Amino acid sequence: MAAPPDAPTTIRVATMNVSLYGDTAGEVADRLAAPHDIAMTDPAVNDPAADFGTDAQSIRLARIIRTLRPDILLLCEIDHDAHGTALNRFADNFLNAKRNVPTDPIDYPHRWSIPTNTGLLADIDLDRDGDTELPGDAWGFGKYPGQYAMAILSRYPIDRDRIRSFQTYLWSDLPGALRPIDPRSNAPYHPDAVWQRLRLSSKNHVDVPILIPQSGAAARAFHLLASHPTPPVFDGPEDRNGRRNHDEIRFWRDYISTPDADYLRDDNATRGGLPIRAPFVIAGDLNSDPIRGDSRHEAIIDLLACDRLQDVAPESESHGTATALFGTRQLRVDYVLPSANCHVQDSGVVWPQTDTPLGRCLDATDHRMVWIDLQLPTPVVGQ
């Protein structure tokens, strides 16, 4: 594939929950490491030449990604390990596999498998069942370290020295945090000693500057703000997951609106939010629909109404703004929200009719890719 343009006029940014997780650590990476000399035809894709790997789910996912061809792609629910094994195998063996298939390979030379709280065992009893074990006593629910993680694939360089991670940010440090309350006793669900150690992020919150080339000037940082809040269900009357989901979303509202906020302290002890003129997108599976579903809608409604960003509300022709199918429920839970100073040219949700070649790939995950095409704002002198 040709290298990205020196100074792109339009950038396609997308997010997709790919549901690439297993029951044990290493299972996904093993699935993605199939020998290249084993041909695999996926009848559901109706693609007799689809021999770029042997994992049927990943073949379908790759078909979608190779068709839409984002420049910057956030993947949710792909296993993390220190070497990015699952991410690299997915990118190399499926997305960039040079095979005779209807979609051209796409190379993402810049990648980051994002560290996550999921499956990372705490040393305290978080779920109050009398013991300390996975998955309920991980900082983020997970059967093994790295399950349900996030990753970034980019055609443009990632400024790794300026990444901000909030993996260890304490929930109690967020002003007005919705501490879970046991309605039967009207007492906090977590004792003070536990509450003061709880992390806000079920996976992570990261600010990832991506360097976009500019004509006649130095590359410009475009900030990908990525997170995947916990589902607001699978708890009890204390609504600990619903409250955490609310505050994980609210974190971004504070981050983009209060650049001088002293309480926003990242994992390197740097304080404050995003500079006010910095171009950005908030992307990820936020697990909250502003109207339907089981979440506390206030946080996502407030975020979408923030004057620092645009609620583009991408749509598909067949399912409107819905981005996920949970049983029979269609919900908008996946988002790519650009800053107000970006110019959005186009957007969409990848949800074609099921009798089309791309539609036959949709059962690879219960989520749909969301994408936007945008232009960066004209730089401000001195920025």
For the cut 60, the answer to whether the pLDDT of residue 47 exceeds it is no
Under the phi-then-psi rule, with left for phi > 0, alpha for psi from -120 to 50, and beta for the rest, what region is 286? Answer: alpha
For the cut 60, the answer to whether the pLDDT of residue 3 exceeds it is no
CATH match for 11-375 among 3.40.50.970, 3.40.920.10, 3.90.1150.10, 3.60.10.10: 3.60.10.10
Mean per-residue pLDDT, 69-74:
98
How much is the pLDDT for 46? 45
pLDDT band at 152 (very low <50, low <70, confident <90, very high): very high
Amino acid at 137: D
Mean per-residue pLDDT, 154-176:
98
Q: How far is CA 300 from the centre of its chain?
A: 15
pLDDT tens digits, 205-234 = 999 999 999 988 899 999 999 999 999 999
Domain boundaries, the chain: 11-375
Please provide the distance, in angstroms rounded to a whole number, between the alpha carbons at the two ends of the chain. 33
For the cut 50, the answer to whether the pLDDT of residue 38 exceeds it is no
Chain position carrying tokens 């063996």: 93
| Spatial distance between the Cα atoms of 99 and 52, rounded to a whole number of angstroms | 6
How much is the pLDDT for 4? 62
**Whether residue 229 has a cis bond before it, omega within 30° of 0:** no
For the cut 50, the answer to whether the pLDDT of residue 131 exceeds it is yes
Q: What percent of the chain has pLDDT over 90?
A: 87
Give 46 or 84, the one with higher predicted confidence: 84
Mean per-residue pLDDT, 250-276:
98
Mean per-residue pLDDT, 89-104:
84
| 383 Cβ neighbours under 8 A, 6+ residues apart | 277
Mean per-residue pLDDT, 34-47:
44
| Alpha-carbon torsion (204, 365, 104, 54), positive or negative | positive
pLDDT tens digits, 269-324 = 999 999 999 999 999 999 999 999 999 999 999 999 999 999 999 999 999 999 99
For the cut 80, the answer to whether the pLDDT of residue 44 exceeds it is no
